[in-house]
Amino acid sequence: MPIAIITGSGGLIGSESVRYFVEQGFDVVGLDNDMRAYFFGDDASTKPSSARLVEELGDSFRLEALDIRDQSGVDRLFAQHGPQVELVVHTAAQPSHDWAAREPHTDFSVNATGTLNLLEAARQHCPTATFIFTSTNKVYGDLPNFLPLQELETRWELPTDHEWFEGIPVEMSIDQSTHSLFGASKVAADVLVQEYGRYFDMPTVCFRGGCLTGPQHAGAQLHGFLAYLMRCTVTGDPYTIFGYKGKQVRDNIHAHDVVRAFHAFHGNPRPAAVYNLGGGRASNVSMLEAIDLCQQIAGRELNFTLSDEARIGDHQWYVSDLDAFRKDYPGWDLTFGIRAVLEDIHAVNAERWEAQAAAKA
């Protein structure tokens, strides 16, 4: 059986990847040491998700509590499986630009050094394995904010005749902008993944994600805004919108569609590929629009306040241009729109969130 190594296997994209590639006939080795609980508290712990994977998937899944910053440990793991490894899906990360400023060394060592450890281990022991990296749109820093945005009733928007109205392409520069420390560490990892592809002719890809979301997202205040927004709507917890009058726009892509893109690339990989991956024009929403949808779906009012202070490096408007990936992989397209994403998050989590809120009351 071919082996897939999936880092961050208890997280949103990691757990979706584990289940998906087991269904595709892979034996999956998952790496997850529950750093999410350290980053965001016990509510964000990946232990329950990891336990479910072990229980559900049996011998097809093996969990390793390995820190990707452990260079020798990562090398031993890859050496153990060698050329049987056909696929590496790297989703492990410190994912919050707010949190990164608290511990810059931790952020950089996880996001950049951890990625380097995985790339070098793959080069040494399975150089033909497809290496998929979940990068981020934060590699572009705040350059999207300098687009000629117009203020509409519920959102900021590009003029319809702008060349990037359909979304931001990978041709946007990553230089001369404010990234946040998180964005900087992900830039380092992104460039490393490209360089290993070019320099060593390894099949690597950077997927520069918009907002990746879905029902398995452990929504926390500093990460996973749609899941956290729906959670606050369901439980009555207060929510704060940071800046831009609540009209900032994000494109959102369901985890299942993300992993389908991974599979498409693995079917025809090439060295040093880079794609923007998000909801594009089919699945994007402003904060005010997302609040309205959450309230409709949950049947409750959200208790929110609006702060005038935007987060450093945060995007005022971001929609991904998906045309490049669609052109190279025409069998792939989105299967979830924004309302379907939110309905899925609510259906899977609302009862549990209500019970947790009642227990704390």
Go through the domains of the chain in sequence order and give each one's CATH number.
3-360 (3.40.50.720)
| pLDDT exceeds 70 at position 191 | yes
Q: Rg of the chain's alpha carbons, rounded to an integer?
A: 19
**How many beta carbons lie within 10 A of that of residue 331, not counting itself?**
10
Q: Please check whether residue 192 is in contact with residue 123, taking contact to mean a CB–CB distance below 8 angstroms.
A: no
pLDDT for 355: 84
pLDDT confidence of residue 332: 98
Average pLDDT on 259-268 reads 98
Mean pLDDT, the chain, whole residue set: 94
At residue 133, the pLDDT reads 98
pLDDT digits (tens, 9 = 90+) for 79-125: 999 999 999 999 999 988 889 999 999 999 999 999 999 999 999 99
The reported pLDDT for the residue numbered 218 is 61
> Which pLDDT score, from 0 to 100, does residue 100 have?
93
Rounded CA-CA distance 243/307 in Å is 6
Counting residues of the chain whose pLDDT is more than 90, the rounded percentage is: 86
Is a pLDDT exceeding 80 seen at residue 34? yes
Torsion sign across C-alpha atoms 331, 337, 343, 349 = positive
* Tokens describing residue 296: 């409709």
**pLDDT reported for residue 216:** 79
Tell me how far apart the alpha carbons of residues 28 and 7 are, in angstroms, rounded to a whole number. 10
CB-based contact 210:319 (threshold 8 Å):
yes
pLDDT digits (tens, 9 = 90+) for 287-321: 999 999 999 999 999 999 989 888 877 899 999 99
pLDDT in tens, 211-241: 999 887 766 555 567 888 999 999 999 999 9
Residue 311's pLDDT is 81
pLDDT at 224: 62
User: For residue 134, is pLDDT > 80?
Assistant: yes
pTM of the model: 0.94
What does the DSSP assignment read for 284-295?
EEEHHHHHHHHH
- Helices 225-235 and 287-298: crossing angle in degrees, nearest 10, is 40
What span, in angstroms and rounded, lies between the C-alpha atoms of 124 and 82?
9
**How does DSSP classify residue 153?**
S
